[in-house]
Amino acid sequence: MNPLQFFAASRLVVVAGKGGVGKTTVTAVMARAAAECGLRVLVVEVEGKPDLAGLLGDADFTESTKAGYQAQRLVSDLGPDSNGSIELCHLTSERALIEYLDQHGFRRVSKRLASSGILNVVSTAAPGIGDLLILGKVKQIERAGTYDLLLLDGPAAGHAISFLQSASGLLDAAKVGPIQAQAKDVVEMLADPARCQVVLVTLAEATPVNELVETAFALEDRVGVALGPVVVDAVDGGCELDEAIAATMGVATLAAAEFRNRRRVVQQAQIARLAVELPLPSLQLPLLLTASVTPADIVRLAEKFIVSINEMVG
Amino acid sequence: MSLTELIDESAVIVCSGSGGVGKTTIAAVIAIEAAKRGRRSVVVTIDPARRLADALGLDNLTNEPQVVAIPGSPASFSALMLDTAATFDELVHRYSVDSTQAEKILANRFYRNVTGALSGTQEYMAAEKLFALHHDERFDLVVVDTPPTRNALDFLDAPGRLTRFLDHRIYRALTTPTRLGLKIANVAAQTVLKTIGRIVGGDVIADVIAFFQAFEGMEGGFKQRATEVIELLHSDTTHFVLVASPRSDTITEACFFADRLNEQGLRVSGVVVNRLYPLFAETSGAAETPDTSDSPTTTSSDAATSARGAPKRTTDASEQALRDNLTELRGVAAEERAVLAPLLAVAPIAALAEIPLLDHDIHDLEGLGIIGGHLLVDVTRV
């Protein structure tokens, strides 16, 4: 598939997956790859997520800078000729609520409501309202058309389902009023494959694969959102092993090669199972043998990601 | 204190860490090893993953403890999965004045939202369950797996948070509307509620008011209980074990948690680092990885051909690939041990255990036993 065509499939892509599978890394890789294809990308972080700024910053980055509610352009080395860009914003439901109230004629009370910790009370009374406010803000950005691609680094684990379900849930609960209107718009956006799709991320391991399959069916059945390709992160390519040669090179050399190959066999079994249980195209990112992912790693992975898209039959 | 001593002497072990680090597995392994050593242990998991139940040989985990036999050992332990709503219902029954009050609350829509959507409720119910099991004579060690919230300290804060929620001045004003001194507060509260009602709909507010009116008289019991739960979490026989994977981002989160515990006068007693690459030392060879006789096997040459499908290369190239692989693996193994340093620094008295990345799947109690073998080896801090 042509990478540009791939990234143009829908304007909003929600990246979701179990904690620890590399969701944030994949979000950064997709942002980088899309920007290299010349797209204007906005990465959206939601509450409680680790910062993406560090991963998408300068190649010699030292400390991650904190992303704000307003989008800011990230320093990147896409080159002067590139039309692409990456911006980042960090959305919180508190800020989205204040902005929403301000825009809907409640300016007088908005600060007081927010400062009295009332959001916790309101969100208990109407579950999902915080999530809806964030999605409403995302929808507003999507409609404005300033960006070619919005990448939302979604909430971890099973929360992705309740996060995306918030709108349809509130549509049932609130029969009238501004929340109802907001929910209706968000439901419309989620149901339109040309506007929104979900990319699920997993590791080639039993538990994450199980959870991914369950999440995929729940998202289709309960949210009605389109699913993009699955991304399998950290795939071990194994190590070529000629036993006769290895035998002359010491026990550690042989053990290390055998270890990689056994890991590969275990992973391939899970990738094969995923293909059977979930009929979606999949993209793979190679395993990085590192304890800390750097911006340079993201650049390398983005190249591999584009290769993987080119090879994908879509 | 070593991890073995912790397992022998604690009354409560709380496993914390960010999502995906293997907290649930480690909690189960601690309970199993404790049982093998003669403790009457029970593990509370909040993870609905069916896989743990499968590994334990159970059809399903429920909100009540189920006994699990350990193969090759006369010992057994118990396991249960937290059901937040059912646990909250039990509390309502316990502290309601009569069954009418309990039923009124249980039927309220806002109450159902509290059990499902109020942030911190799951954490509070995990703490509540822990407290109940601690006082259950069948058990002398409760191992609990905390919810995978970013801020794992919610677990400590949650009991207090719920009582603060119930104490919210708006509700205080609502539930005592006739008292003279509160009249002004009440007017302010009504204004705020009316505003919320205009946004989310009036029914929602009616539910809230009905809930707090029904709840009246129960706050005392809830508060008392929350105080007792907090005391248990701070007791000398309660120990915190941090589970982390050897990656800089999860180590940063684990450090944050350790700092917050220290601030509260609590200590991290154990650090379990999960899924480390083996060291591949020249002398021990594969001894760093456990026996894999039960793992899916393949001959190495099969793996090599299927790995790349590439034509056979020259001896030099093959040697180089093998050498590079060993260098890379040793490099990542060393790097992983180095990123742990900040965590060990903020958890100065914690025992350290290292669980290697395994080259086969864990899918049964025997597999959990392999992890247990690694857990009880105290690693010397560098």
CATH code of the domain in which B119 resides = 3.40.50.300
If pLDDT is split at 50, 70 and 90, which confidence band does B313 have? low
Q: What is the pLDDT of residue B50?
A: 72
In a domain, B118, yes or no: yes
Share of chain A above pLDDT 70, in %: 85
Top pLDDT among B348 and A118 is at: B348
Contact A241, A258 (CB under 8 A): yes
Top pLDDT among B52 and A7 is at: A7
Q: Provide the mean pLDDT of chain B.
A: 82
Mean pLDDT of the region A120-134: 77
The string of pLDDT tens digits covering residues A129-173 is 888 989 999 999 999 999 999 999 987 756 788 889 888 888 876
| pTM tops 0.95 | no
Alpha-carbon distance of A207 to A202, in angstroms, equals: 9
Query: Which residue on chain B is closest to A248 by alpha carbon?
Result: B319
Q: What is the pLDDT of residue B335?
A: 97
Tokens of A91: 């959305």
Alpha-carbon distance of A63 to B215, in angstroms, equals: 49
Alpha-carbon distance of A53 to A30, in angstroms, equals: 14
Alpha-carbon distance of B29 to B49, in angstroms, equals: 16
Can you state the angle between helices B121-134 and B154-166, rounded to 10 degrees? 110
Contacts of A138 by beta carbon, 8 Å cutoff, 6+ apart = A12, A44, A91, A150, A152
> Which of B222, B232, B220, B356 has its CA nearest to residue B292?
B356
- Whether B287 has a pLDDT exceeding 60, the answer reads no
Alpha-carbon distance of B160 to A159, in angstroms, equals: 24
Mean pLDDT of the region B206-215: 78
- Whether B304 has a pLDDT exceeding 60, the answer reads no
Alpha-carbon distance of A125 to B66, in angstroms, equals: 35
Contact B365, B299 (CB under 8 A): no
Query: Which residue on chain A is closest to B118 by alpha carbon?
Result: A124
Top pLDDT among A19 and A36 is at: A36
Alpha-carbon distance of B130 to B127, in angstroms, equals: 5
Q: What is the pLDDT of residue A280?
A: 95
Q: Cβ–Cβ of B201/A254 closer than 8 Å?
A: no
Mean pLDDT of the region B342-371: 92
Q: Cβ–Cβ of B303/A264 closer than 8 Å?
A: yes
> Which of B165, B183, B169, B175 has its CA nearest to residue B223?
B165
Q: What is the pLDDT of residue B301?
A: 45
DSSP letters of B240-261? EEEEE-SSHHHHHHHHHHHHHH
> Which of A195, A284, A220, A189 has its CA nearest to residue A8?
A195
- Whether A45 has a pLDDT exceeding 70, the answer reads yes
Tell me which residue range forms the domain holding B97. Answer: 3-153+235-279+337-375
In a domain, B20, yes or no: yes
Q: Which CATH code, of 3.40.50.261, 3.50.30.10, 3.40.980.10, 3.40.50.300, is assigned to A3-237+281-311?
A: 3.40.50.300
Contacts of B246 in chain A (CB under 8 A): 291
Q: What is the pLDDT of residue B167?
A: 65
In a domain, B57, yes or no: yes
- Whether B139 has a pLDDT exceeding 60, the answer reads yes
CB contact B341 to A (< 8 Å): no
Q: What is the pLDDT of residue A9?
A: 92
Mean pLDDT of the region B148-172: 64
Beta-carbon count within 10 A of A249 CB: 16
The string of pLDDT tens digits covering residues A226-242 is 999 999 999 999 999 98
For chain B, the domain total comes to 1
The angle subtended at Cα A256 by Cα A253 and Cα A258, nearest 5°, is 105
CB contact A290 to B (< 8 Å): yes
| Highest mean pLDDT pick, A114-118, B284-288, B353-357 | B353-357
Residues 53-112, chain B, touching A (beta carbon < 8 A): 110
Alpha-carbon distance of B312 to B306, in angstroms, equals: 12
Strand B141-145 relative to strand B12-16, pairing: parallel
Length of chain B: 382
Alpha-carbon distance of A283 to A102, in angstroms, equals: 42
- Whether B302 has a pLDDT exceeding 70, the answer reads no
In a domain, B382, yes or no: no
Share of chain A above pLDDT 90, in %: 55
Ranges of each domain in chain A: 3-237+281-311
Top pLDDT among B357 and A68 is at: B357
> Which of B200, B156, B359, B64 has its CA nearest to residue A173?
B200
Beta-carbon count within 10 A of A241 CB: 26
- Whether A306 has a pLDDT exceeding 50, the answer reads yes
- Whether A63 has a pLDDT exceeding 50, the answer reads no
In a domain, B41, yes or no: yes
If pLDDT is split at 50, 70 and 90, which confidence band does B188 have? low
Q: What is the pLDDT of residue B263?
A: 87
Contact B258, B347 (CB under 8 A): yes
Q: Cβ–Cβ of B321/A240 closer than 8 Å?
A: yes
- Whether B93 has a pLDDT exceeding 60, the answer reads yes
- A198: helix, coil or strand? strand
- Whether B324 has a pLDDT exceeding 70, the answer reads yes
| Nearest beta carbon to residue B200 from set A20, A109, A126 | A126
Q: What is the pLDDT of residue B59?
A: 82
The string of pLDDT tens digits covering residues B247-266 is 998 898 899 889 888 888 88
Q: What is the pLDDT of residue B57?
A: 81
Q: Cβ–Cβ of A126/B204 closer than 8 Å?
A: yes
| Nearest beta carbon to residue B285 from set A122, A252, A289 | A252
In a domain, B163, yes or no: no
Contacts of A271 by beta carbon, 8 Å cutoff, 6+ apart = A204, A232, A235, A282, A284
CB contact A64 to B (< 8 Å): no
Least confident of B44-53, B150-159, B283-292: B283-292
Q: Checking phi first, is residue A105 left (phi over 0); if not, alpha (psi -120 to 50) or beta?
A: left
If pLDDT is split at 50, 70 and 90, which confidence band does A275 have? very high
Contacts of A261 in chain B (CB under 8 A): 298, 300, 303-304, 307
> Which of A275, A204, A231 has its CA nearest to residue B361?
A204
CB contact A218 to B (< 8 Å): no
Alpha-carbon distance of A166 to B202, in angstroms, equals: 19
Alpha-carbon distance of B178 to B375, in angstroms, equals: 60
Least confident of A139-148, B52-61, B138-147: B52-61
Top pLDDT among A101 and A164 is at: A164
If pLDDT is split at 50, 70 and 90, which confidence band does B200 have? low
Alpha-carbon distance of B305 to B326, in angstroms, equals: 19
| Highest mean pLDDT pick, A76-90, A122-136, B222-236 | B222-236
Q: What is the pLDDT of residue A104?
A: 75
> Which of A151, A200, A163, A162 has its CA nearest to residue A17?
A200
Q: What is the pLDDT of residue B64?
A: 93
Residues 221-260, chain A, touching B (beta carbon < 8 A): 237-243, 245-246, 249-260
The string of pLDDT tens digits covering residues B229-240 is 889 989 999 999
Interface confidence (ipTM) of the complex: 0.90
**DSSP state letter for A9:** S
Q: What is the pLDDT of residue A62?
A: 41
